[in-house]
Structure 1
């Protein structure tokens, strides 16, 4: 029997790294699980892309202008780093690439005594990190290389019981300010559609199944949105609406009208901040769509939400804090306000009309 090609062994090493990453993350306790997961999943991705490139006969090495391979100080050939392989394999806005870049950046900011809190903050992205790897693995090497038979759904409590959900809210408050601000800045740099993509941040609604059981039933079944009929999607939207109304009722969110945002920011930065400046800011940071957009709900929900009842956008305290933090810098202020000249009156006046509509609405 002919020996296996080198790329095959690199692929198996990649799968070993991914399996180890999951084992370390799912173990009981709180000892540096997130960092271990990130380190080994990053290695898994590196080896996976190297295996693909080598299998396809493409170049793995850093070369000089004459096309010659370069050696490190130790004399080894210098391979392309993960960032370069990602750029070659995925487009800039591919959610898989953005998710991986998020964790590469996060790893350098983890403070170990707060690691458990940080893990709770990025749980959905952690799940997406693994799912993206599995998808790319099967896409390039076939279902026979899948990890699905080796990895099982763990027994867990986090985010399932009401008490656990409340505990996660407390944990979030303990995350170091520097980490929270870095995550906030990373998210603010993304288009809302990318931020909401399951391949970047995997979020699910768990609805217990209490109907009759069949032999084909699994304890937990993942249903893809693309596989649902229009009627089933409609029912799911109803469930999501019920959950949203239960967890984040608009009347109790403490959301702010644009003028309230302007007033709070103006009092905390050394520069002029008017309604036109606010319009420039939400455009620059892509917090909400333009006034003529069809999908008005496509916002960065940490900062802004569409109130379908009053047909207006409402802003959060987090948006005020973000603006103050960013616009205190004169350089950032000038960069953001550079788009003020392009802010059409329609969007600015829309904010004003929205305030009037809310003030005239019955209590």
Structure 2
């Protein structure tokens, strides 16, 4: 970063400040979620995560030069009763940032809808019924912060894995089942109606609902070991997966079941993905444009990266059999939404688009 002639640091861009407010709201939300007993507040968690997501997407739009203000018929920005410029609410932001069937968008929409249905006396019941979606809301947020702004903005240094006892005994499981039964009828109806409109792919996605397996580790450890170890399902043998599943039935662990992506199902080779995007926009869109997009989005490793399988599997999959990458239709939709107008194209690539010649 360059200094001016007085030796002062140049001012931070506006999006940076918006992002810091987003991170602050996320930390507040997680703090409310993790507080024990009556000190915790699921309503405050939902409200603060709502603000965290809204500020995150506003920061993204600011960085890319996307106008996210509401305009009147005269083209001027609309204002609130307090005189502030009226900007897109979270639902509108999610529609801009994610394709219709994206599990991240559906997870956000779920909490937008449930925000005003939380009653203080039923908070614990609602947390039990929707806790897996709350985990997904936070994990998605962290992943999007890093993907859009870089690892230096991760929340990992701010948070700790919480210490708790509930659900680790059969009695704890029974208590949580009793809490679930106390959920108000209108909230149960909302959850049922919302999920009735979801595809199986969304309902089975960990980005919509994130469930985990917890089991104690025994044996010697090294200084490099962490208290929590994360395993990928594909790294386990069939016997190991079956063993974990069997032990989950004792009530001492919570098991996650996840539908893994099927390689090549409805996926597109890079050239076909580029062509699909080009067919949807009125500008010249060549392979170097597509390469630049996936590099900026970070959906797959760059050439030479030893971790070839480290992709964002919403948008890109690694095909080990052919040692290549394929892209999903969801990624085509994302790319189109981000560059389908001259202003969006200019903001993303830093130069004017060339009109496609018939």
The 1-side partners of 2:247 and 2:154 are apart by 34
2:221 pairs with 1:213? yes
Alpha-carbon shift at residue 211 of structure 1 (Å)? 2.7
Change (3 A) 1:233 1:89: farther
2:65 pairs with 1:61? no
The 2-side partners of 1:62 and 1:235 are apart by 56
Q: With structure 1 as the length reference, what TM-score do the two structures score?
A: 0.63
The 2-side partners of 1:233 and 1:64 are apart by 59
The 2-side partners of 1:243 and 1:66 are apart by 65
**Among residues 235, 238, 243, which one is paired with 1:239 in the alignment?**
243
Alpha-carbon shift at residue 105 of structure 1 (Å)? 1.1
2:149 pairs with 1:145? no
The 1-side partners of 2:248 and 2:220 are apart by 28
Question: Number of paired residues?
Answer: 244
Instruction: State the match for 1:298 in structure 2.
Output: none
1:100 and 1:129 in contact (8 A); partners too: yes
The 2-side partners of 1:206 and 1:32 are apart by 22
Instruction: State the match for 1:110 in structure 2.
Output: 118
The 1-side partners of 2:247 and 2:72 are apart by 56
Change (3 A) 1:188 1:31: farther
1:35 and 1:110 in contact (8 A); partners too: yes
Looking at CA atoms only, which structure, 1 or 2, has the larger radius of gyration? 1
2:21 and 2:55 in contact (8 A); partners too: yes
Unaligned runs of 5+ in 2: 1-8, 252-264, 266-358
Deviates more, 1:90-99 or 1:67-76: 67-76
The 2-side partners of 1:61 and 1:176 are apart by 37
Alpha-carbon shift at residue 236 of structure 1 (Å)? 4.4
Secondary structure of 1:30's aligned partner: helix
Instruction: State the match for 1:189 in structure 2.
Output: 197
Q: Deviations over 1:272-302 (max 9, x none)?
A: xxxxxxxxxxxxxxxxxxxxxx9xxxxxxxx
Q: Deviations over 1:118-168 (max 9, x none)?
A: 111111111111101000000001001000011000111222222111111
Instruction: State the match for 2:181 in structure 1.
Output: 173
Secondary structure of 1:78's aligned partner: coil
The 2-side partners of 1:187 and 1:83 are apart by 17
Instruction: State the match for 1:288 in structure 2.
Output: none
**Relative contact order, higher structure (CA 8 A, sep 6+):** 2
Alpha-carbon shift at residue 72 of structure 1 (Å)? 2.9
2:46 and 2:115 in contact (8 A); partners too: yes
Alpha-carbon shift at residue 10 of structure 1 (Å)? 0.8
2:229 pairs with 1:224? no
Unaligned runs of 5+ in 1: 248-293, 295-363
Secondary structure of 2:37's aligned partner: coil
Alpha-carbon shift at residue 74 of structure 1 (Å)? 3.6
Instruction: State the match for 1:341 in structure 2.
Output: none
Alpha-carbon shift at residue 82 of structure 1 (Å)? 1.2
Alpha-carbon shift at residue 23 of structure 1 (Å)? 0.9
1:25 and 1:34 in contact (8 A); partners too: yes
